[in-house]
């Protein structure tokens, strides 16, 4: 599939769209955006986007995006790209993603959320099951902006992420198997801590992760960083067995939240760097 699709609801039926937009073949934009849609099933697609120039990524080639939509199933598909395999954008709820094989992507991502001041972003009730992720920058990924920092024109939006499960996730050569970034867009972590996100994250489960990471961050295999414990609640992990190429003990960085529900051995960066 080399076309981009924008779908929204019809007034008479909730299974089709009132707008279907296709971009020209070999488009470098997203493949599928489900916008203001409900009760949609997407199945058995093969999506491919690549650059003809070595080591140059084709940006904005998301496989599947949801925005202001609910009751969506994406399943039994293959995505090869250099952006998000799936991205749950603002005001998405009740989505199941299952049986996907993703290669070269930026992961299956929540967000980014909270970028725009005075905007409310809600993403909740997501179940991601039986994913194969190869040669990607990230596997399971949540990205949320902190509050607006003085002098910045981004961040400060409100909202919540709630009831998100990644279950049975296989990493093969991903740089990071799990990435949580509640300081998204803000490289100065001191400023992020001083201006914690107004988008809370709560009830997030990572279960049944296996496979290997790339050598990029070896021995680190994942990083979960929140801006403050009060806006990052009830994070849990179960049955995590992700290895690094060197065979050293897998390093998980966990900061800014209560790690008592995590089955992985969490460390803070100052303990290892």
157 closest CA partner among 127, 128, 116: 116
Residue 183 has φ and ψ, to the nearest 5°, of -115, 30
Q: How many helices (H) and strands (E) does the chain have?
A: 2, 19
254 closest CA partner among 239, 236, 237, 266: 266
Cα end-to-end distance, the chain, whole Å: 44
- Inter-residue long-range contacts of 18-21, CB under 8 Å, 24+ positions, other chains counted: none
The catalytic residues are 106
Residue 161, strand partner residues: 123, 201
Burial class (CB in 10 A: 0-12, 13-18, 19+), 230: exposed
Say if strands 198-213 and 158-174 run parallel, antiparallel, or are unpaired.
Answer: parallel
Q: 109, 87 in Cβ contact below 8 A?
A: yes
Q: How many CB atoms lie within 10 A of CB 169?
A: 26
């Amino acid at each position: 599939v080399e076309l981009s699709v924008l779908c929204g609801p019809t007034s008479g039926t909730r299974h089709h769209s009132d707008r279907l937009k296709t971009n020209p073949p070999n488009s470098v934009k997203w493949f599928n955006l489900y916008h203001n849609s409900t009760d949609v099933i997407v199945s058995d697609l093969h999506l491919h986007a690549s650059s003809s120039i070595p080591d140059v990524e084709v940006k904005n080639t998301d496989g599947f995006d949801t925005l202001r939509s609910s009751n969506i199933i994406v399943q039994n598909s293959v995505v090869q790209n250099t952006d998000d395999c799936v991205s749950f954008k603002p005001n998405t709820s009740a989505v199941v993603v299952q049986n996907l094989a993703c290669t070269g992507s930026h992961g299956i991502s929540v967000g980014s959320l909270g970028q725009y001041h005075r905007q409310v972003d809600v993403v909740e009730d997501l179940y991601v099951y039986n994913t194969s992720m190869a040669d990607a920058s990230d596997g399971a990924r949540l990205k949320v902006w902190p509050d607006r920092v003085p002098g910045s024109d981004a961040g400060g939006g409100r909202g919540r992420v709630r009831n998100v499960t990644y279950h049975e996730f296989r990493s093969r050569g991903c740089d990071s198997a799990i990435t949580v970034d509640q300081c998204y867009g803000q490289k100065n972590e001191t400023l992020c801590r001083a201006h914690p996100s107004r988008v809370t994250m709560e009830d997030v489960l990572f279960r049944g992760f296996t496979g290997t990471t790339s050598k990029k961050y070896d021995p680190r295999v994942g990083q979960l960083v929140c801006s403050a414990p009060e806006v990052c609640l009830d994070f849990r992990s179960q049955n995590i067995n992700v290895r690094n190429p060197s065979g050293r003990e897998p390093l998980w960085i966990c900061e800014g939240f209560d790690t008592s529900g995590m089955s992985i051995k969490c460390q803070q960066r100052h303990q290892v760097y």
